[in-house]
C-alpha cells in the first residue's frame, strides 16, 4: 500500500465504497478517506485499484473530494444527524411547590 492508492473497501459497514489511502500507520494499518468514513483500516480489508492520485500525507477531506472530482467521481455528502437542542439547566429552573396528596375517601 502507498499514499494515494485508490481502493475499494471489502469488509465492514463501508464495504463496496471507494476510498484513498492518506497515511500509512503501522505494518498493516492505513488511514483512509473518500466515500467511506475517514478512519484507520486494516489493509487486508481493502482491494487496491489500478488508479493512484497525487495527494499528500494526511490530506484534508476537502483535498480528497477535489482529487476525486478530477477523476470524475462525485462524492455524495453524507447526511449528519441533527443536533439536539441545548438542554436547560434543571437546577436553575424555578421550583413549583407540589400539592400534598390526600388519601382517597371511602363512602
| pLDDT tier for residue 12 given thresholds of 50, 70 and 90 | confident
- Cα–Cα distance for residue pair 98/91, rounded to 1 Å: 16
Cα–Cα dist 21/43, whole Å? 10
Domain boundaries, the chain: 5-70
User: Alpha carbon of 17 to those of 5, 34, 46, 72: distances in Å?
Assistant: 14, 8, 10, 15
Q: Using CA atoms, how far apart are residues 73 and 22, in angstroms rounded to an integer?
A: 17
Assign a CATH topology to domain 5-70.
SH3 type barrels. (2.30.30)
- The DSSP result for 94-105, as a single string, is PP-PPPPP-PPP
Task: Please tell me the pTM assigned to this model.
Answer: 0.65
Whether 104 shows a pLDDT value over 80: the answer reads no
Q: pLDDT for 76-100, tens place per residue?
A: 655 556 667 777 666 666 667 777 7
Amino acid at each position: 500500500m502507498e499514499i494515494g492508492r485508490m481502493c475499494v473497501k471489502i469488509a465492514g459497514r463501508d464495504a463496496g465504497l471507494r476510498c484513498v489511502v492518506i497515511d500509512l500507520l503501522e505494518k498493516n494499518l492505513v488511514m483512509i478517506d473518500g466515500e467511506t468514513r475517514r478512519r484507520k483500516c486494516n489493509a487486508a480489508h481493502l482491494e487496491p485499484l489500478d488508479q493512484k492520485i497525487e495527494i499528500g500525507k494526511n490530506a484534508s477531506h476537502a483535498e480528497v473530494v477535489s482529487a476525486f472530482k478530477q477523476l470524475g467521481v462525485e462524492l455524495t455528502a453524507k447526511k449528519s444527524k441533527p443536533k439536539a437542542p441545548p438542554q436547560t439547566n434543571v437546577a436553575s429552573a424555578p421550583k413549583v411547590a407540589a400539592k400534598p396528596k390526600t388519601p382517597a375517601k371511602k363512602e
